A and B are shown apart, each in its own frame.
Chain A
């Protein structure tokens, strides 16, 4: 039994079901992510991976099921306890979500400024340290609008780790980046796990990136988990839908012509 298999669980999701209106987005999703593990959540567009991430970040409430984060059942937490829990979590959003009115440095120290009584000098030193970790030293006085796409993602990562979180979520960290920058970001995520012993959840549809960084991969399709396994287990899976996803094949939906016509006419 490996260390990853015996480490305590950081995230426990049980039978998660969620709807947007009448549409079922997640259908009985269950998974456990252990301490120090990099779990990559993969799936095509509309598979429910971003929705699952929003639930893990407590940004959405599920229709039913349970999510335990660092031992806390999210549905039972009051607002104050939830905010306290959020301080142990870091999130790097897909578009960075840096505050456009603040400099890069001010963005990075924002969680420290809001949650600690540290003096400004100490906060600035911490910000510079994190900027060095993400290879952005010297950029603290620039505005987010002055950064490239890759730099914004790295600055967002620096903000996400400023409080030394136990758990880090990364939403599409390499989307829209060139292969060199994307690969550098992957290295950075691996470094963070090794140096800071973080549990990291990465949502991505970039296969190369997923295979490079993942300890385990969860493959989602149409709101259901197809498999959870190591890189090799996923690669060698005999499941046709997984192979379609890995080989970038799209399943052709068999449609009755009359039903299709009725759908176009808005009659269904």
Chain B
């Protein structure tokens, strides 16, 4: 390649990176604004004649949480059993297979429970939220809300955010419990102990801090999933094709945000 071509290529790459960074900064700023506006309406909505109703919050909780219980349970059992199999296989080499309970309890409570539940909810409910909002934008439902004197953030975002913030930690707690049950059913016969002894060991292995670590992360993931989905949903352009595009990007952005935040959170709390 000739030198001018290489220079042009480098300049083009640099420009793309710059544009990408600009778009990210825009989306991040908009997301932060959206979050604080949602908190504002949650706190002061009633005083401003824009009260947040319980009914849509419960509807969101039902959609995000209750309907997700079967799939969360299935994945949690699989994670618990897989971790146990890997753990026993690895620890056996050092004659420490009994430590598998400690390893599984800690990794499920602090890491896998919140992460797997977060990823699942981002794929399931984050995409649904982005699709719903983008459809509302395209069909002028958001404009209709504004001209009816109804704040769209209060009407659409707050119930979703509140529902997600209540349900995701609850689902995470459920996921941790189910993972440990799954693990116990595999580990107990493998290492010659009982299920009750397994849970007694779990009780000794984890403390409130570990649980708080996992649940705090799931609370942050709840905010991320909602805000990322809303930001993507609002940015829709075009018709049905646009809805498909933002739905996919909401899942990708949501999962990326969860995994990166998880890493930063772990670094900040353990390093």
**What bracket does the count of chain A residues touching chain B fall in?**
20 to 34
Once the chains are docked, how many angstroms separate the CA of A93 from the CA of B139? 9
Other-chain residue from B48, B136, B139, B150 in contact with A114 (beta carbon distance below 8 A) = B150
Cβ-based interface call for B143 (8 A): yes
Other-chain residue from B48, B132, B135, B148 in contact with A86 (beta carbon distance below 8 A) = B148
Other-chain residue from B48, B136, B143, B150 in contact with A80 (beta carbon distance below 8 A) = B48
Q: Which of A95-103, A187-195, A232-240, A246-254 participates in binding chain B?
A: A95-103
Q: Which of B141, B144, B150 has the most CB of A within 10 A?
A: B144
Cβ-based interface call for A58 (8 A): yes
Say yes or no: B141 contacts A86, CB within 8 Å. no
Say yes or no: A83 contacts B151, CB within 8 Å. yes
Other-chain residue from B132, B143, B147 in contact with A89 (beta carbon distance below 8 A) = B147
Say yes or no: B139 contacts A86, CB within 8 Å. no
Interface positions, chain B 110-126, Cβ under 8 Å from A, are none
Once the chains are docked, how many angstroms separate the CA of A89 from the CA of B146? 11
Say yes or no: B146 contacts A80, CB within 8 Å. no
Given contacts A80-B48, A80-B49, A83-B50, contact A93 B149 (CB under 8 A): no
Cβ-based interface call for B140 (8 A): yes
Once the chains are docked, how many angstroms separate the CA of A137 from the CA of B135? 28
Cβ-based interface call for A110 (8 A): yes
Interface positions, chain A 36-85, Cβ under 8 Å from B, are 57-59, 79-80, 82-85
- B residues contacting the other copy or chain, number (CB 8 A): 18
Given contacts A83-B49, A83-B50, contact A95 B147 (CB under 8 A): no
Once the chains are docked, how many angstroms separate the CA of A97 from the CA of B145? 9
Given contacts A93-B143, A97-B143, contact A115 B135 (CB under 8 A): no
Given contacts A83-B50, A97-B139, contact A59 B146 (CB under 8 A): yes
Q: How far is the CB of B165 from chain A (nearest CB, A)?
A: 22
Cβ-based interface call for A87 (8 A): yes
Other-chain residue from B48, B49, B144 in contact with A91 (beta carbon distance below 8 A) = B144
Once the chains are docked, how many angstroms separate the CA of A79 from the CA of B154? 13
Cβ-based interface call for A149 (8 A): no
Q: How far is the CB of A179 from chain B (nearest CB, A)?
A: 25
Task: With CB as the reference atom, state the residue of chain B lying closest to A99.
Answer: B141
Q: Which of A87, A97, A111 has the most CB of B within 10 A?
A: A97
Say yes or no: A97 contacts B140, CB within 8 Å. yes
Task: With CB as the reference atom, state the residue of chain A lying closest to B132.
Answer: A101
Other-chain residue from B139, B141, B149 in contact with A83 (beta carbon distance below 8 A) = B149
Task: With CB as the reference atom, state the residue of chain A lying closest to B151.
Answer: A83
Once the chains are docked, how many angstroms separate the CA of A95 from the CA of B141? 10
Task: With CB as the reference atom, state the residue of chain A lying closest to B146.
Answer: A59
Say yes or no: B143 contacts A84, CB within 8 Å. no
> Could you give, for residues 81-120 of chain B, a 1 whenever the CB lies within 8 Å of some chain A CB and a 0 otherwise?
0000000000000000000000000000000000000000
Once the chains are docked, how many angstroms separate the CA of A224 from the CA of B202? 75
Other-chain residue from B141, B146, B149 in contact with A111 (beta carbon distance below 8 A) = B149
Chain B residues with CB under 8 Å of A86's CB are 146-149
Other-chain residue from A84, A100, A110 in contact with B148 (beta carbon distance below 8 A) = A110
Q: How far is the CB of B134 from chain A (nearest CB, A)?
A: 13
Interface positions, chain B 134-190, Cβ under 8 Å from A, are 135-136, 139-141, 143-144, 146-151, 155
Q: Which residues of A pack against B, CB within 8 Å? A: 57-59, 79-80, 82-87, 89, 91, 93-95, 97-101, 110-111, 114-115, 169
20 A-B residue pairs with Cβ-Cβ distance under 8 Å, sorted by A, are: A58-B146, A82-B149, A83-B49, A83-B50, A83-B149, A86-B149, A87-B148, A87-B149, A89-B147, A91-B147, A91-B148, A93-B143, A95-B140, A97-B143, A98-B141, A99-B141, A110-B148, A114-B150, A114-B155, A115-B49
Pairs A-B, 4 closest by C-beta atoms: A86-B149, A97-B144, A83-B149, A97-B140
